[in-house]
Chains A and B, each alone.
Chain A
Amino acid sequence: MNLNWTLVGQSITFLVFAWTCYKFIWPLLIGAMDERATLIGEGIENAEQARRDLEDASSKVDEIMRDARADAHALVDQARTQAATMIDDAKKDAENEGERIRETARADVVQEANRARESLRAEVAELALSGAERILESGIDRAQHAELLDKLASEL
């Protein structure tokens, strides 16, 4: 248990090992650990960013959905109004058409009646003329009495 050159030997050994650690071991290990710390920090930051992005996106989605719903409502309303208008228009058209057809029919009837009256009148005039001819047994000049006959027919 005496002091001897071991003191010197161990001192040199100690300094060599400490220097080796300082030069070759420590920087590599601490470098890797620091790098990992940076990586983890970045990862956490990225995750936070992603979370924020997701929040933004989902709020944007909500907005888009709201707009779309509103648009859809507007479209449906518009379509409904349009449909109602179209139905109204169609109804009005149909009514007009009906009225027109009725008018035509009425005009036809009047015309037909007039025509019938005309022919009846002519026939009556013929009949009256032939009756009078028979009564008078004498010839009556048709041309001579045309005016009289027309007057008679128009009175019918």
Chain B
Amino acid sequence: MASDNPQEYIKHHLTNLTYGRHPELETLEPIDLNARIHQEFLYGTWGFAHDAEEASAMGFNSINVDSMAWSVALGLAFCALFYSVARKATAGVPGGLQNAVEYVVEFVDDMVRGIFTHKNDLIAPMALTVFVWVFLMNLMDLVPVDWIPELAALFGVHFMKVVPSTDPNITMSMALSIFVLMLYYSVKCKGLAGFGSELAFQPFPKFMAPLNLVLELPTLFAKPLSLGLRLFGNMYAGEMIFILIALMYAGIATDIVGGAIGIFGGVLHLAWAAFHVLIITLQAYIFAVLTVVYLAAAHDEAH
């Protein structure tokens, strides 16, 4: 694994399992439909990318199977866990698991109550989903970087990124979903005119509307961008450091120097993992808080 080629090792760890349309077909001469269909069946132009270059060459017409699978699995885990507790939840003395779940729910509920003062029952459950789900996705970062990819390799799967939040697709899609909700609630609460005037008629007086738009529109679009990229950046960097630390294990069985580096790597790994526990929780919290803050701003009538 790590011993072969450090550059290759890192790159391998940062490549998604991408399913899509192989780009060779696009370079073919325009031929008739029958030949094209024949080509697709014959050469299986839909399939998993064999390397990072091929994956990026697939363009938008592909999907990161590993990110999607882990994200859905973790989301299902969240729903299953919380639903199993919610179904049996009673007003009596709560058991251990119910207590833990209720603690999280109350934590999020308090947070939402502190920020979001409007009437919208969707916000708090969504904040809970965001917080727990993002936390679980980040939590995958603490699984040693080689465990699941090596296990997957045994089954013939050559790429496996297990931390969905290190995939910008995942973080940006959540940020964009929230952005769409922001736009929806802005228009719903203030009307199209109200929302437009909020963008055009402040902070400067109305006659400076163009300048206001220049100031306000980037602010608006910066919200989802910063929301998604902050989470992605933090998780990606954290993952990268775990991969770099894992590289130090490469020579552990060769000689005394390699062994020493390996042991030092173990110490670093432990320290970084301990620190990372804070980071993943904090990032999940920040993501959830900003979601609520942005949606609260969307509901706010007057500025």
Contacts and interface: CB of A to CB of B under 8 A. Distances in A.
Interface in B57-97: 58-64, 67-68, 71-72, 75, 78-79, 82-83, 85-87, 89-92, 94
Contacts of A8: 173
Contacts of A18: 122, 125-126, 129-130
B169 interface: yes
B28 to A, nearest CB: 22
B55 A7 contact: no
Contacts of B58: 2, 4
Interface in A32-56: 32-33, 35-36, 38-39
A7 B60 CA distance: 10
A28 B172 CA distance: 30
Interface in B98-147: 101-102, 105-106, 109, 121-122, 124-126, 128-130, 133
B83 A22 contact: no
Nearest to A10: B173
B169 A28 contact: no
Given A10-B173, A14-B173, A32-B90, A5 B128 contact: no
B62 A29 contact: no
Most B C-beta atoms less than 10 A away, residue of A18, A28, A30: A18
A20 interface: yes
Contacts, number: 132
A29 B86 contact: yes
Contact of A2 (B55, B71, B122): B55
B79 A20 contact: yes
A17 B60 contact: no
A7 B68 contact: no
A146 interface: no
Most B C-beta atoms less than 10 A away, residue of A11, A24, A38: A11
B174 interface: yes
A36 B169 CA distance: 41
Given A4-B61, A17-B79, A24-B86, A10 B68 contact: yes
Contacts of B266: none
A25 B125 CA distance: 8
Contact of A5 (B63, B71, B105, B167): B63
A6 B170 contact: yes
A51 B217 CA distance: 63
B173 A29 contact: no
23 contacts: A2-B55, A3-B60, A4-B169, A6-B64, A6-B67, A7-B169, A7-B172, A7-B176, A9-B63, A9-B68, A10-B173, A13-B71, A14-B177, A17-B133, A20-B79, A26-B128, A29-B82, A29-B89, A30-B105, A32-B89, A32-B90, A33-B106, A38-B91
Nearest 5 pairs of A and B residues by beta carbon: A6-B169, A28-B86, A35-B91, A32-B89, A26-B125
